[in-house]
Amino acid sequence: MSTPERGRRQKQRKVLLMGRSGAGKSSMRSIIFSNYVAKDVRRLGATIDVEHSNIRFMGNLQLNLWDCGGQDSFVESYLNNQRSHVFSSVAVLIFVFDISSREPASDIVNFSATLRALHEHSPNSRVFALTHKMDLIPMEQRSDLIADKSREVLQHCLDEGFTQQQIECCATSIWDQSLYRAWTEVIYYLVPNAATIENMLRKLADLLDARELILYERTTCLAVTHVTRSAESQNPYEDRFERISSILKTHKHSMAKHTGMLPSEAAFAELQVKTGEFMFFITRLTENTNLAVSMSSDEAAFNAARVNVQLARQEFAHLDIIEKRGHEA
């Protein structure tokens, strides 16, 4: 093993994925990390006890993902017999609420018990509460329902000793980009050098005179972070980053279908979009990331930006997470 490689230590972050059986936990995990598409998750069976996945993200960030079966007997075991084992050293709890659940009161009771165990063993962890299967709710009812659920979740978190800053509530569905938006929030919290990445991207955006730069992890197509400049901050499409994630994932499946490769292995050199109002391209930045660049419709500036991104790759090689002393969770 080379000296630089020995210098890279994997940063492991434990993530619990919990909620009632059938809530959709394994489905979302398979879509995000195993390149499933929504229509294919129906063939997934129920999770038995805990399924462990070690997922490498952005090079050396190792997600130690625990997908915990939600049957009552398993939940009881997590909260009692395995309490310390399950809830120690947790960076993030993702608790999934099935909006179509026939026992919402029981789900909240389990959520509170889970929070109690988490606060006992990992009081500094972050909690992401996902109100899932929102596609089953009529559009005109969603806003009020999400607001009510968020208030309920927040109050239970506060009651169990967590602060408001530790809680994030998201509404999700496997059938639209909301799932990518929620998991992007999770990933942003877990990436230890996000602020450094943003500072570097801001300097590059100024150099390119770009409207927006978005950094994507290559395998999952999740947005890691972005930099938005000038008038682009008024863009009304707040979910545009997650829409691109969904488009990229669909494109990977299309390439896999026509090349015989696995979706996880499919990749592209560059994707370009040119219109009279803007120009846009996505290209590789580092071994583990792609960079999306949005800019004004100017052919000369567009070509210069492509060249400058290629020249900047060496400077951005350090984006792939390198563990440093004093930066442990």
Q: Show the domains of the chain with their CATH numbers.
A: 13-190 (3.40.50.300), 194-319 (3.30.450.190)
| Average pLDDT, integer, range 300-318 | 91
Q: Look at residue 325 and tell me whether its pLDDT is greater than 70.
A: no
Distances (CA, A) of 154 to 79, 102, 160: 21, 21, 10
Work out the angle between the directed axes of helices 139-159 and 104-121 (0-180°, nearest 10): 40
Q: Look at residue 235 and tell me whether its pLDDT is greater than 80.
A: yes
Q: What is the mean pLDDT of the chain?
A: 87
| Average pLDDT, integer, range 313-326 | 63
| Average pLDDT, integer, range 17-39 | 86
| Average pLDDT, integer, range 150-173 | 96
Provide the whole-model pTM. Answer: 0.85
Q: Look at residue 323 and tell me whether its pLDDT is greater than 60.
A: no
CA distance 62 to 11: 6
CB 291 within 8 A of CB 213: yes
Work out the angle between the directed axes of helices 178-190 and 25-33 (0-180°, nearest 10): 70
Q: Look at residue 221 and tell me whether its pLDDT is greater than 70.
A: yes
User: In percent, how much of the chain has pLDDT > 70?
Assistant: 89
CB 308 within 8 A of CB 291: no
| Average pLDDT, integer, range 310-326 | 68
Looking at residue 55, what is its pLDDT? Answer: 85
Which residues does 212 contact at the CB level (< 8 Å), separation at least 6?
A: 205, 226, 227, 228, 229, 232, 235, 292, 293, 294
